[in-house]
Amino acid sequence: MEEMHYFKESQREEIPVPDFKDNITRKLLLQFLCDLCTWAQATPVTSVGIKKDAHSLYILFRNFAFSEQDFWQTFGGYLIALRPKWKIGIFGTELSSQETAALLLDQQNGKFYAVQKTISGRYADSIRSLCLRIECANTEDAAMVNLLCQHMDWQSGILVADWDLREAFEREYIPWLHQSTCYCYGNLSEDQEQQDYLDVLSFPQKVGLWLQFLENGIDYEEFAWLYDRISAQELNGRIEWELAVYAALNQLEYALKISKSEFELYDGSGERRYFSFNSEQNAQRVFLKLLFPLNV
């Protein structure tokens, strides 16, 4: 993006060096992005793979305004700490003139400077929208950062992925949940509860959970969480969970026959399936509680 305009420096100010003791890993980069989401009150859009810039990742925050001073005071320390591995540039639009503004970190003689550049050279106090350019070491690094971003729930700081990402979590010092779950849950903080993990599941992931039970009979830990939430009448997004069951049943060509006094379930081959509220499998009990919410 910087190559699209001829910029003139409009502001340069020395900023203090933070006393960062954390390891400079992708976990710290994700924490910075999560804090940025909270600050902007926005969910970002990520893009990678621009041909001439394949080692860079672009993260766009739409439709909010901020001041340069506020940004540097809040995130200058992050940019300095991350700089040994990732150079981060910030781009936006000046509110009144609509010209592009760039915020860059410069290092000279052991000191760090917050630099603003604009096309006109005039200082931009208020900037609208924000596009981060994260320069990675290589295309593989950019791809991994992008992959982690795709699995991140920015509000909670929880990552939900298939188990093949567990080793990546360990390499980046991202704590993960050591339980018999369908998905691998990483988190940037350890203050998470059952409901937090359930809330971050996407609709396709919820359908996938039910497919694993209906096809393979696997009673994953998520079903225990679900049963606890249903029993406490505290399940968020219950209608989405009902829809996920319905989608899984249809995908496997199951047939439901429900009347006032009878319930029958047949799998795709026409064989009748039997579930019980008294089963030791939480998945069976959750299935029935979703279909019959008024039954014990």
Percent of the chain with pLDDT over 90: 64
Cα angle at 193 between 242 and 158, to 5 degrees? 85
Would the CA dihedral through 258, 261, 267, 271 be positive or negative? negative
Using pLDDT thresholds of 50, 70 and 90, give the confidence band for residue 53.
Answer: low
Parallel, antiparallel, or unpaired for β 152-153 and 158-161?
antiparallel
Q: Which residue has the higher pLDDT, 14 or 20?
A: 14
Element at 288 (helix H, strand E) = helix 282-291
pLDDT in tens, 71-98: 999 999 999 999 999 999 999 999 888 8
Record the pTM: 0.86
CA–chain centroid gap for 90, Å, is 20
Q: In this model, does residue 202 exceed pLDDT 90?
A: yes
**pLDDT tens-digit map of 133-180:** 999 999 889 989 999 999 999 999 999 999 999 999 998 889 998 889
227 and 282 in contact (C-beta within 8 Å)? yes
